[in-house]
Chain A
Amino acid sequence: MKRKILAIVLVLVLVLSCVAAFTACKSKKTDAEYILDKGTLICGITLYEPMNYFNNDGDLIGFDTEFAEAVAEKLGIEAKFQVIKWSSKEIELNSKYIDCIWNGFTVTEKRKENITFTQSYLNNTQCVVIKASNAALFANEEACAGKRAVAEAGSAGETAANELTTNVTPKGAQVDALTEVKSGTADFAVVDVVLANSMVGQGDYADLAIATGIQLESEEYAIGFRKGSDMAEKVNAVIADLLADGTLQTLAEKYGVAGQLIK
């Protein structure tokens, strides 16, 4: 019995001392100081055109890629890109494996509770993707009621889908939502128009189409930093500079998103 108590006490002491040691390491620097001191801005991305993707030479390019590089250069630090699972983006951010989410990240009120956004830089709308052969069935918003919908879990598309119908299945990624429509397990998917434009009607998704009769509310893309981070303001100042000197306009034209740029 004595030995048992001793063992338990020893284990508790071990655990507590580990916690104490880690807590002692907790820095008192602000987030901007932390990022500028280490000299790298690690952007969490998923690969998709035209935001972040590899060209045929294997170089990472895209609107968000070059945008982040331009901002980092002005701040005198280096932009690095970490491919993440989109569903883990907040946990990656808060555990400091990435410093920001910079990947066509839609601003929503709910996300603002846990993430500090910079100013918005691009307009984006959600759109309804259906089988091209079903186009006649999806003439307007009312036609969606009662149909089976899919959208990325936690995405702006999921919110929009819930307004259209009561039967919404969340998926791990926007692409998975398109796969459901293609295989007929869902009637329509709600995804970013930027993504839909680059995928629908191509490759295995050749038989899909955007339902042009359905207009959904538009939202905006911004860069997401840790809650309360002072880095967002620093980046805002740089964005203003890049807008003023025309850098962003040139980039937007290069990647075909000039019409959506917020000036």
Chain B
Amino acid sequence: MSFSEVTLQLLNGFGTTCLLFILTLVFAIPLGLIISFGSMTKFKPLRYLTRGFVWIIRGTPLMLQLFVVFYVPGMLFDTPIFATIENGRFVAALIAFVINYACYFSEIYRGGIESISKGQYEACAVLGMTKGQTFFHVVLPQVVKRIIPPMSNEIITLVKDTSLARVISVIDIVFAAETILSLRALMWPLFYAGAFYLVFNGLLTLLFGFVEKKMDYYKV
């Protein structure tokens, strides 16, 4: 099997990997903010419910969560819901990843939001700003700057975690490499696949460095 053939098959899988990565971020970043509000709310039942949920999601392996989302509907209720939709396996993986990463993000957001001093809220109140104005114009911009390093950590982990989706047979780049291994007895494609991740994460690292520089003007 030639180098170009292997590259083509791996690129095919890498497309799925990238799509899973990007869509997970698109949905998990806003969902994480909502969850972080839930775990900071003064309404106790909701706060305990949210924190309990975050505890379960962060406390169990992502692989098991993939199994639960994909297999449990068919096993317990006789309705394999992902069988009827196109790319059902990918959708199931996306749901599991979004929930999992939203929970991790929510704790990062919570740390960022709680790090803003009470004095700033009081100053805003004195100036007659509404709660919404205070949050979106004063608090959030500072939070964004503060959470970039921990967020970039999680996001780089996400790039590599996407390979877990292969446990429910989503054909990602690692699955593609494993298939070549089992069909052609070739091991190098697996390490070649590692190079794809390395380059992709290198680009992300550069991007985060750039964003951090852009945020420099917030002296807090």
Contacts and interface: CB of A to CB of B under 8 A. Distances in A.
A23 B77 contact: yes
Interface in B51-81: 67, 70-80
Contacts of B49: 7, 11
B183 interface: yes
Contact-residue size bin, chain B (C-beta under 8 Å from the other chain): 20 to 34
B171 A46 contact: no
A255 interface: no
Interface stretch (B30-38, B95-103, B161-169): B161-169
B74 A95 contact: yes
Interface string A68-83: 0000000000000011
Interface in A159-204: 173-175, 178-179, 199, 202-204
B80 A95 contact: yes
Contacts of B71: 91-92, 94-95, 97
A60 to B, nearest CB: 12
B219 interface: no
B19 interface: no
Given A96-B78, A96-B80, A46 B167 contact: no
Contacts of B186: 203-204
Contacts of B181: 175, 179
Nearest to B74: A95
B185 interface: yes
B44 A4 contact: yes
Choose among A3, A83, A203 the residue with the greatest number of B CB atoms under 10 Å from its CB: A203
Contacts of B179: 47, 83
B45 interface: yes
A48 interface: yes
Contacts, number: 89
B45 A199 contact: no
Given A96-B78, A96-B83, A7 B45 contact: yes
A238 interface: no
B185 A85 contact: no
Contacts of A4: 44-45
Contact of B185 (A22, A23, A83, A199): A199
B46 interface: yes
A25 interface: yes
Interface in A126-182: 173-175, 178-179
| Overall SS of chain A's interface | helix
B215 interface: no
A95 B83 CA distance: 10
B125 interface: no
B184 interface: yes
A26 B80 CA distance: 11
A97 B77 contact: no
Contacts of A202: 185
A85 B157 CA distance: 23
A258 interface: no
A23 B79 CA distance: 9
B45 A173 contact: no
B82 interface: yes
B217 interface: no
A82 B169 contact: yes
A48 B167 contact: no
A179 B177 CA distance: 14
A230 B46 CA distance: 48
Interface of B: 43-46, 49, 67, 70-80, 82-83, 166-169, 171, 178-179, 181-188
Interface of A: 3-4, 6-8, 11, 19, 22-23, 25-27, 46-49, 53-54, 82-85, 88, 91-92, 94-97, 173-175, 178-179, 199, 202-205
Given A26-B77, A91-B71, A94-B75, 11 more contacts: A7-B45, A22-B76, A49-B183, A83-B179, A88-B169, A91-B67, A95-B80, A97-B71, A173-B178, A204-B185, A205-B185
